[in-house]
């Protein structure tokens, strides 16, 4: 029973990691850039959700949608201002820029509102828990998992069934050939950043509701863990990011349940080292050509 309970907790947490990991994976699949500012977009999303709930007095879903919309715009702005001029530069230049953007967002947020933490209101949704065969599942966990699953299904629909999704897959496969076929590569890359950032914003609101406490440096560890989740599933492969996030959440919950809660942050990086040694392409990474 205890194992099942931890499995449920792990899947709730893992679905948040999966949402963040999808942004890393989509951007890497198209422009081969690890966007280290992604964790900070997640943090901004958590704060937008918090202010929408407390100041605008909105419910969970309107706050989620506002957070996703603003984060999508922020993601496009970051891409256009910071990454687009470096598209043909060396990988290391883009990576350093990503770290710089990350620090700018973190300390910009501290400058604007101070470093003090905030707490999401506890009465956002009714605090009921459902009992499945002795396993208690809180209404929060159900809502977070349900929201994450809907967003992941929506993402799969966008990538595989819409015009912009086809353009993303084409640019991911071969950017120059896509350009020759008349695809607007710049708009496609911006759309990828917008979708990835919107998912990170949604994850921020879900994280705030799950853990209640949010602060300006909260994006660092979940951002790094989501990166590990993306590598675990196979970076650049969308289903891999989903599975990697869920797996990482379950591993963390089981480690905490076994009495090693101080190791819960460290275990993600142990997983990263093991994956890089034994399966560098990730769980889903074979010689896959279609990356996104």
pLDDT at 211 (0 to 100): 87
Render pLDDT for 255-275 as a digit per residue (tens, 0 to 9): 988 888 788 888 889 989 998
DSSP 286: S
Strands (E), the chain: 118-119, 129-132, 135-138, 213-214
d(CA 258, CA 229): 21
pTM for the model stands at 0.90
d(CA 189, CA 82): 13
| Beta carbons of 101 and 82 less than 8 angstroms apart | yes
Render pLDDT for 140-177 as a digit per residue (tens, 0 to 9): 888 889 999 999 999 999 999 999 999 999 999 999 99
Mean pLDDT of 28-43: 91
DSSP 68: H
User: What integer best gives the mean pLDDT of the chain?
Assistant: 89
What are the two backbone dihedrals, phi and then psi, of residue 281, each rounded to the nearest 5 degrees?
-80, -5
Render pLDDT for 86-136 as a digit per residue (tens, 0 to 9): 988 888 999 999 999 999 999 999 999 989 999 988 777 777 777 777 777
């Amino acid at each position: 029973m205890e194992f099942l309970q931890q499995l449920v907790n792990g899947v709730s947490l893992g679905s948040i990691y999966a949402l963040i990991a999808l942004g890393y994976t989509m951007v890497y699949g198209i422009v081969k850039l690890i966007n280290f500012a992604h964790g900070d977009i997640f943090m901004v999303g958590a704060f937008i959700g918090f202010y929408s709930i407390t100041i605008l007095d909105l419910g969970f879903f309107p706050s989620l949608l506002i957070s996703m919309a603003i984060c999508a715009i922020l993601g496009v702005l970051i891409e256009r201002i910071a990454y687009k001029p470096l598209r043909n530069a060396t990988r290391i230049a883009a990576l350093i820029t990503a770290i710089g953007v990350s620090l700018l967002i973190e300390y910009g947020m501290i400058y604007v509102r101070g470093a003090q933490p905030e707490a999401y209101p506890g009465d956002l949704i009714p605090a009921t828990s459902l009992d499945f065969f002795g396993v208690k599942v809180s209404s929060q966990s159900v809502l977070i998992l349900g929201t994450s699953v809907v967003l992941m299904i929506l993402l799969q629909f966008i990538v595989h069934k819409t015009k912009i999704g086809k353009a993303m897959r084409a640019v991911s496969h071969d950017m120059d050939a896509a350009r020759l076929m008349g695809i607007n590569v710049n708009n496609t890359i911006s759309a990828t950043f917008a979708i990835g950032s919107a998912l990170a914003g949604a994850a921020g609101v879900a994280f705030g509701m799950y853990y209640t406490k949010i602060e300006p440096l909260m994006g660092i560890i979940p951002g790094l863990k989501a990166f590990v989740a993306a590598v675990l599933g196979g970076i650049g492969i969308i289903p891999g990011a989903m599975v990697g996030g869920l797996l990482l959440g379950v591993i963390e919950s089981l480690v905490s349940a076994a009495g090693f809660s101080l190791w819960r942050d460290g275990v993600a990086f142990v997983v990263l080292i093991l994956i890089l040694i034994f399966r560098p392409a990730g769980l889903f990474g074979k010689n896959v050509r279609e990356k996104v």
